Structure 1
Amino acid sequence: MDHEKVNILLVDDQPAKLLAYEVILKDLGENLVIASSGREALEVLLKTEIAVILVDVCMPELDGFELAAMIREHPRFQKTAMIFISAIQVSDIDRLRGYEMGAVDYVPVPVVPEVLRAKIKVFAELYRKTRELERLNQELEDRVRARTAELENSTAKLRESEQRRSMAIAAGKMGSWDWDWITGDWMWDEGQYRILGVSPESFEVNPANVQALLHPDDVDQLRKAIAEFNSGTRSYETEFRIVRPDGEVRWCVGTAAATVDHSSRVVRVSGVTVDITERKRAEEQQNLLAREVDHRAKNALALAQSIVRLTRADEVKAYVNAVEGRINALARVHTILSLSSWQGAELSKLIDEELAPYSPSGQIRLAGPEVQLLPTTAQTLALALHELFTNSAKYGALSTRSGRLMIGWQVDDELLTLTWEETGGPLVRTPKSRGFGTRSLLASVESQLGGQAKFDWRAEGLLCRLEVPLTRKPAATAPSKFDAAAAAELQRASG
């Protein structure tokens, strides 16, 4: 039978004898490891797992007895089998000394091959069986540990489940009941009373009183359940509302199961009631949030559509850059609004995000109080500021190192006034016609926000004044107005 080979260490200072041992033991089919001295044998032991050591007693420098004593001192080799070979007549005292040093057997010289092979084979097989037993024991211990861990985990889950059930009942989220179908008697636990907002002392459980606690629109659910059981249904589940004596409406889910007698007649109905009011409220909130997200997404897409539709450029590259710049501006304000859960955006933060790409290095100065903008106001104003920054970087104060930009704002009677003042840049001339950036800025501020945008093309730099109401609900929910106003402005400018 095939088996895993083990290592047998042969120790002798005479090469001829080592060769003879190899020839004798070759037929065993094991791994034979050679060492020509005691020190070499110790080196081999530290690097290799050895099953049997065959060692000559008479060796110079370190004889067999001394080598055996050193081997036995190491904890790893205290049970390693050692067989001594002696070429001299061995006395009983020598044998006793050898056994004390850890030898398990003696082989005299001349060596009888059959005897040596038999002894080595026995100890090699013993080593192999011992290792196999250790492996099996380890596997058994691993299985025991795994099973123990599994049982502990199962017990912990069961305990946790029981704790959750106890907590649910204690918190009034779950109750159980039992209804004797024949006598009409009811039995409620404490959780059932708590869910329905009544007490055992003041509330008599009977069909009329139970029906009185049901929401008028859900009374038919009870009648339907009774009819289902009478027609052979064995289980029933439904959602319903209850109206507590204090007027509070709660949502519940009820599960009931029927018990029948030998003639399949219903004799008892047992059930569980779970208060799912919080879940219902969460679902309503989630639906509201989904509608809100849909609404905001449509607004953002409408703005993006307007940007793509109304952007003009003489070259494709210029068109792409213009569209990307405006979309990026919209994305930046979207990020700000998302961080505030769409409650609004701080004006200074909006300006910081728009000026960040220009690395102004002291060219830009800001001054103004904290102003919170409505989400749609922030979106539209962000696009307007983007146009101002883009034009300034191309043609105005931000196009040269000597240019300076002052952005100031104030709020009076819910009216935001933002002043954009450029100085130190290239000489400014009043444009013969308005570019798309200016036209879209006017259209968005005036049509979308109900404000005003005024431009003063001074020679020393552009002066722009934006007036935006903070309390008016912007008209971004109707993107067609933006398109119409921008188109009209385009027509006026071109005409």
Structure 2
Amino acid sequence: MMDHEKVNILLVDDQPAKLLAYEVILKELGENLAAATSGREALEYLLKNEVAVILVDVCMPELDGFELAAMIREHPRFQKTAMIFISAIQVSDLDRLRGYEMGAVDYVPVPVIPEVLRAKIRVFAELYRKTRQLERFNAELEDRVRARTAELEQSNARLLESEQRRSLALAAGRMGSWDWDWVNGDWMWDEGQYRIFGVDPETFAVTPASVQALLHSDDIDELRKAMAQFNKGAKSYEAEFRITRPDGEVRWCVGTAAATIDRGGRVMRVSGVTVDITERKRAEERQNLLAREVDHRAKNALALAQSIVRLTRSENVKDYIQAVEGRINALARVHTVLSLSNWQGAEMGRLVDEELAPYSTGDQIAFGGSNVRLQPATAQTLALALHELVTNSAKYGALSAVSGRISINWWIEADFLRMLWEERDGPVVQKPLSRGFGTRSVIASIESQLGGQAEFDWRPEGLVCRLSVPLTRDAATGPLNSHPNFVINGNGAELTSRSADA
């Protein structure tokens, strides 16, 4: 296959208009473009033709892109065929991992940028063309190595030139290639290989010792064993390994190598390709970490819900159900806010909005304040405190009257979150003779859980509550009942007899 020979590129999409658009974009590449409107048509074409690159839509009826890729990879002829997915939706890290496991080499988002799509297709088409050319050159060299030394030297020159062009295509795909003369020990790296290992081709001498110095110490023995297998008749190998760049950065790679054998069965050369898979590895680590974090948070949430159900008391079943449902719904709302940030924290404004939304009618509630992100444990505890305040207001305070108003403001002061809750224009307020369950709940959650302070001012025109929460102190992450002086009781939380407020 010479440089000017065309290769087949298969376009798979269930929408004819999109297929036509891809054909227009890729026409200037000068390759053979074939279209298929379904996975079945694509498989029929593949069985009859050699294909360099497959461009496939992820979302299709009957067979989607992932299923089609899996079926293609099951056929021995297409196990190394380059497949590029086109997705009109935002794909997650998990979807990308699934695509790469199915055999995808890249993703292209919609709307498609023509220059980017042409560049990606051109890279893999050229890689396919040069790979086939390299295979033919190697076969010719094996047939002529003993009788025609002069011709072998010319072929080697063409091979090196081809390798240089192929290196450009490999580098564009975060890949590098290398060649090792098994007889005299000479090495050759392309530009992509130098880039992956983080070394300067002008100053770095490729020798067994210098390469070994860049390999991770835990992986050297396995790579030595793999290379030794060539002397025992092995023709190829594939392995994942780590490298340590001169600047100390550790990168994950996958390497494939194949041996060139003469007619006597002796290894003459070993050629290979290295692919940097660090991002894929990091994505796998993030996925595992997220799974463990979700498990941890779910257990905490279940423990807290269990405490609420077990410790809530009421005079009748209806009030009991209402109290339990209110607290669990408050937890559910803050859990949603935290989930949207992958449990990195909760924005104060979003938290207040979610907890007060069930009671917000007309213009009775107004709130605002500094842009502050709360730690998960702080957000959960503050959410329960807000729930108790608003439910108490709905029963006895400003929200129990149409004319009542509530304003909530917060700000940061000396590493503390200060929050001011003010009620007005509701029923006339009288200072209670003793603290109710709701009051004790807020005090217990803020002071016992977060090490903060809660103050209540029972003015005739309405309740004023001031909350102060430290932002630099590590709050407890366990359920509310984990504090030795804090339990949930009746319609609120209260301190046990071991507390000074008992």
TM-score calculated relative to the size of structure 1? 0.60
Q: Does 1:385 align with 2:345?
A: no
Aligned-residue offset at 1:394: 1.3
- The answer for the alignment partner of 1:142 in structure 2 is none
1:404 is matched with 405
Pairing of 1:111-260 with structure 2 (within 5 A): 154=51, 157=54, 163-164=123-124, 165=127, 169-171=170-172, 173-198=174-199, 201-260=202-261
- In the TM superposition, residue 178 of structure 1 has moved relative to its aligned partner by 2.9
CA distance in 2, matches of 1:331, 1:168: 51
Q: List runs of 5+ in structure 1 lacking aligned partners.
A: 1-145
1:437 paired to 2:429: no
Amino acid at match of 1:293: V
Q: Deviations over 1:20-74 (max 9, x none)?
A: xxxxxxxxxxxxxxxxxxxxxxxxxxxxxxxxxxxxxxxxxxxxxxxxxxxxxxx
Q: Does the aligned pair in 2 maintain the 1:311–1:436 contact within 8 Å? A: no
CA distance 1:258–1:478, change in 2 (3 Å): farther
Task: Map Cα deviations across residues 395-415 of structure 1 (whole Å, 9 max, x no partner).
Answer: 222112243334344432222
Partner SS state of residue 486, structure 2: helix
Q: Using the alignment, how far apart are the partners of 1:205 and 1:426 within structure 2? A: 85
Q: Show the counterpart of 1:332.
A: 333
Q: Aligned-pair distance for 1:255?
A: 1.6
Question: CA shift at 1:161, angstroms?
Answer: 5.5
Q: Report the Cα offset of residue 341 of structure 1.
A: 4.8
Against the structure 1 CA distance between its residues 432 and 255, is the aligned structure 2 distance closer, same or farther, given a 3 Å change threshold?
A: same
1:415 aligns with 2:427: no
- In the aligned structure 1, how far is the partner of 2:202 from the partner of 2:495? 79
What SS class does the counterpart of residue 474 from structure 2 fall into?
A: coil
CA displacement 1:438-472 (0-9 Å, x = unmatched)? 33322211111111122344555433222222222
SS in 1 for 2:218: helix
Does the C-alpha gap of structure 1 residues 355 and 241 become closer, same or farther in structure 2, counting only changes over 3 Å? closer
Q: Bigger shift: 447-456 or 185-194?
A: 185-194
Q: Report the alpha carbon displacement of residue 357 of structure 1 after superposing the two structures with TM.
A: 2.0
Q: Distance in 2 between matches of 1:414 and 1:322?
A: 34
> Residue type of the partner of 1:417?
R
Q: Which digits, 9 at most, give the CA deviation of each residue in 1:143-172, with x for residues without a partner?
A: xxx89x959995763796662456761337
165-174 vs 236-245, greater mean Cα deviation: 165-174
Deviation at 1:390, TM superposition (A): 0.6
SS at match of 2:421: strand
Q: Could you say which residue in structure 2 is the equivalent of 1:452?
A: 453
Q: Does 1:463 align with 2:460?
A: no
Q: Which amino acid aligns with 1:181?
A: W
- Work out the percentage of aligned pairs sharing the same amino acid: 67
One-letter amino acid matched to 1:415: F
Say if 2:444 and 2:495, in contact at 8 Å, map to a contact too.
no
Give yes or no for the alignment of 1:314 onto 2:315.
Answer: yes
Report the CA distance between 1:342 and its aligned residue: 4.2
**Matched length:** 349
SS at match of 1:401: coil
Label 1:268 to 1:153 Cα distance change in 2 as closer, same or farther (>3 A): closer
Specify whether residues 266 and 385 from structure 1 end up closer, same or farther in structure 2 by C-alpha distance, changes over 3 A only: same
Which structure has more RCO (C-alpha within 8 Å, separation ≥ 6)? 2
Task: Give 1:334's aligned amino acid.
Answer: H
Q: In the alignment, residue 399 of structure 1 is paired with which amino acid?
A: S
> What does the per-residue CA deviation read over 1:115-149, in whole Å, with 9 as the maximum and x for residues that have no partner?
xxxxxxxxxxxxxxxxxxxxxxxxxxxxxxx89x9
Amino acid at match of 1:163: V
Q: Closer, same or farther in 2 for the Cα pair 1:340/1:280, shift >3 Å?
A: closer
Aligned 8 A contact 1:175 1:192 in 2 = yes
Q: TM-score, normalising length from structure 2?
A: 0.59
Residue deviations 1:355-395 (CA, integer Å, cap 9, x gap): 32224433334464444433332221111111111111112
| 2:183 alignment partner, SS class | coil
Give the Cα–Cα distance (whole angstroms) in 2 for the partners of residues 350 and 200 of structure 1: 54
Answer whether contact 2:170 2:177 (CA < 8 A) is retained.
Answer: no
What SS is found at the alignment partner of 1:270? strand
**Structure 1: how far apart are the matches of 2:301 and 2:469?**
20
Checking the alignment, whether the CA contact within 8 Å between 1:444 and 1:482 is kept in structure 2 is no
Give SS of 1:257's match.
strand
- What pairs up with 1:341-380 in 2 under 5 angstroms? 341-366=342-367, 368-380=369-381
Pair 197,368 (structure 1): closer, same or farther in 2 beyond 3 Å: closer
User: What is the root-mean-square deviation of aligned Cα atoms in Å?
Assistant: 3.7
Cα separation, 1, equivalents of 2:122 and 2:249: 29
Contact 1:306 1:483 in 2 (8 A): no
Q: Is contact 2:481–2:487 with CA below 8 Å preserved after alignment? A: no
Alignment of 1:65-144 (within 5 A): none
- In the alignment, what sits opposite 1:67? none
* Unmatched 5+ stretches in structure 2: 1-40, 55-81, 83-117, 128-165
Aligned to 2:474: 473
Task: Return the alpha-carbon distance in structure 1 between the equivalents of residues 190 and 398 of structure 2.
Answer: 79
User: How many Å separate the matches in 2 of 1:203 and 1:155?
Assistant: 34
Structure 2 residue aligned with 1:13: none
